[in-house]
Structure formats: structure tokens, C-alpha cells
Structure 1
Amino acid sequence: MTLLGKSFSVIILILSLTFMVLALAVNASHRNWRDVVMGPTGLKAQIRTTESTNQQLRDTTERTRAALSREQAARRTALAALQTQLDQLESQLQNSESSVQQLEAQNTVLTQTDRSRAQQLEELTSETARLRDQIRKEQQDRDELFTQTLKLTNDMNKLRGIVQIQQDRNDQLMAQVTRYKEVTDAKGIDINEPIGGAPPDRNGTVLVINRPKKLVEVSIGYDDGLRKGHRLEVTRQGRYVGKLEVLKVEPDHSVAAILPDYSQGTIQENDRVDTTLD
């Protein structure tokens, strides 16, 4: 037998075994389909049960749909009412927002006004405190002035008494002076003439110097009690310079000669002249 014949023989054997297995399987799975379909629990009974259940479900669905339609209508009505309320509330909200904005603007203005008034209040409080201190000080000053016024009034009354006494004394002295004047005029006495020939204590300055003639002009004269022959001391910044002898006297100035024996320096204009030295 050739190789090809052997191959076909093996193939035929395998196919025979395969068909045998299939035949056994079909035989094992064989069922009575009439009983399966027409039995009490068969497919037909299940179909009738399913159809009854489906019909019940359809009825329930219809009722549910009707209820849903009624619910949807009620919901649409309620939604429309809610929409109307929402529109009203939105309108009220807009009005409230406008009112809030106005109130916020008013609040801002009031806040600024309150801040300004608070600042004014602080300034007024400070000013009031200052005025109180000033009033207190002025009251103290017024009390002190009142006390001083009382004291001065008392002193003034005392002074008035003294003035009255002095006035009476002055009247008496004036009467005496008038009498003395009448007596001196009658006797030909010059009251300006110095007693004992000594000049009064006066001082002046050197006005003009005539060096060739050794003469000077000084700023004191007859009205100051200076007379011909009086001697004057010359100093400069407290230092002794020399001595002068009056030769000619005028009411407001005099001419004097420089005494060389007493000279301790050169006499200059604006040097001080005194009738006596301390």
C-alpha cells in the first residue's frame, strides 16, 4: 500500500469517529418540543402570561401617562404661577437693589457728613476747652485786677490825702516864694548868683578850639550858673586833660582860656568839661 492510500485510510478513520461522536450528541440532546410548547408550563402558557402581564403594564402605563399628563398640566400651571412670582420677585429685587443703591449713596453722604461733624465736634470741643481755660484765666485775672483795684483805690485815697496835704503845703511855699521874690527884687539880689562864688555842679563839652589864641568854646553858660573867672576841668574818657578859665559868658555857651600850667594833654573838640571833679 502506498503512502497516499495510508493517508486516505487515516482520514476516513478520523471522519468516521467524528460522525459517530456527533450522532451520539444528537441522540443525547433529543427533546419532545410539543411538550415544551404546549405543556402547562410551556412556551405558549408563558406567552399568554406574558401577554396578560403586558396588557396590565399597558393599562398601568396609560393610567400613568394620564396621571403624568395631569401632573404635567398642574406642574405647568404651578410653574407659570412660580414664573409670575419670579418675575414679581425679580422686579421687587430690582427695585430693592435700586433702593439699596440709593440708601448706600445716602449712607455714604451721611457717613461723610457724620465724619465732618465729628471733626467739627472735636474742633469745637477743643475750642470750648480752650475758651474755658481762657475764661478761667480771665476770671483769675479779673479777681486779681479787682484785688489790685481795691488796693489801688485804697492807695489812691491815701495819696489824695497826701496830695491835699502837699497841695496845702505847696500853697504855703508858693506864698513864701512870692514873698521871697518880692524881697529879692526889692533888695536887688540875683538868685542865680552862686553862693560863695563857687560854680554849680555842671558839665558840658568843648565846641570850638582856637589854638593860636589858646581859647575854647564850651557848651555851658550863664543859664547853667557859670560866671566869669570860674574854672573848668577837661577830661576825655575819664582821663584828665587840662583846666580852663572862663573869660566870657553867654546864656548857653562860654569862652574860656587854656591854662598851660595844668595841661596834661591836647584839648580836643567833644572833650568833657566839668565845673568840679569828684
Structure 2
Amino acid sequence: MNFVGKILTVLICVLCVVFATMAVMVYATHTNWRQVVMGDPGGFPKGLNQQLEELKVEKANVEAQLLAASTSLKEEQVMRRDRLTQLETTIDELRLLRSQYETQIQNLKTSEGQAVVTMKSTQETLAKLRDEVETLRRDIREAQQDRDENFAESVRLADLLQQADVKAKRLEGEKIALGVDVTRQRDLLRVHDVNPDQDPAGMLPRVNGLVMAVAGSGVVEVSIGEDDGLKKGHQLQVYRTGGGENRYLGRLEVMETAADRAVCRVMPKFRTGAIQVGDRVTSKFD
């Protein structure tokens, strides 16, 4: 082998490694968009359709909670207003009662014998009134605190509802875009005569090679193998070039594969001529 032949051999090896690397990268970056949208039945993670349905259910639950909270808040406000009105009425009554007691005290001061007893009774009554007023004030503060907490809860639920609605709209848009993309990819596969529902693992890639050896029992060895995607059961076409024309010789069925070699059986039904070393093989004709 001369120097030029060695250079060509090294160049072919480098190109084979480059093409094999590119094929691995393309396969690694492939995404099954149908599975992303539809999901894996009984598997994880869930598809976008399932996530959208769950978000719709979550949105409905949040809306129901918001409605219940709003209704409860309105009822609570009415009850608190009624309670405040009653408390204010009670305070007015107590103030009137206290005024009456004070008047009585002034009247009782005219009598020395009854003044001490009346004063003590009045002081006790005033102490009770103060306790009652303090209790009423505490009840008012608690009512105001409950009102503020209910209002904050209603605001929080409204925010959750808004977030769920925005997320649902975003997922709906992604679903539509993915559906359009899946349709376009399926149409593109059909244009290239590829069944989009076929398992990619069973498809034969477009490869070309040469017949390296021919046995008398209808068995030949070709220069392509597992590294080129060839598997047992795949079929190859054999043809010979010469005189500016291609002559079809027959079809081969792969029996065994190695990294860069494969042993094939000549299919008698499709054989149209004698196969020789150097004849070309291909998986698909252009």
C-alpha cells in the first residue's frame, strides 16, 4: 500500500468515527413528543394532557373554596355587625344604668347612715361594669381580628386562583403548539415514505457497503455491521456498477452481524445474477 492509500485509509477511519458520533448524538437528543403530550399510561412522569386535566380540577376546587370562603366571610361580617350593634346597645344601657346609679349616689349622700353602704355597692357595681366593658372591648378586638384574617384568606385564595388560571392557559398553549409540531413531524415522515407509527428500533437505516467474500452455499460477507445499525433479519440490495449503469443482482438477508461485518444469505427468489466480491450493497435505493 502506497502513501496515498494509507492516507485514504486513515481518512476513512476518521470519517467513520465522526459519522458514528453524529449518529449517537442525534439519537441521544431525540425526544418522543407524543409521549410528552399524551404521557405514559400508568407511568411517570405524567403527560401534558394529564397535567392540564389535573390543573383544571385544581382550579375548580380553588374556585369552590373561594366561593365558600366569600360566603362565609359575608355571613361572618353580618354576624359581627349584629354583635357590634348589640354590644353598643348594651354599652349605652350600661352607661344609662351607671348614670342612674350616680344619681342615686348623690341622693343617698343626704343620708349619712346609708351613704357608706350605698357607696360601697356603687363601687362594686362600677367594677363589674368596667369588667363587662373590658370584656366587650376584647370581643370587639377579636371580631376585628377575625375579620382581618378572613379577608387575608380570601385574598390568598384569589391569588391561587389567578396563578392556576395562568398556568392552565400556558399549558393549553403548549399543548396546541406540541400538537401542531407532532402533526408536522408525522407529515414529514410520510413524505419521506416512513410510517410514523413504526417502532424506530426496528427500522433499517440507509447504509452502503461492499461484498467482501462469497461462499458457494449462497452466503456472502459484507463490509457493514452492527456499528452501521445492521441487525439480524434486515434485508440488503445487491447491485453492480459498470459502464455507467447499475445492474441489480438480488437481495440479501442478514444472518449474523459483527461490529463492521455481517454474514448474509442470498434470497433465491430475488436473485438475478451471480454475486461477486466488490459488488455493492445498500439498504435502500435512492
Q: Report the TM-score when normalising by structure 2.
A: 0.30
Bigger Rg, structure 1 or 2: 1
Between the two structures, name the one with larger relative contact order (CA 8 Å, sep ≥ 6).
2
Q: Report the TM-score when normalising by structure 1.
A: 0.31
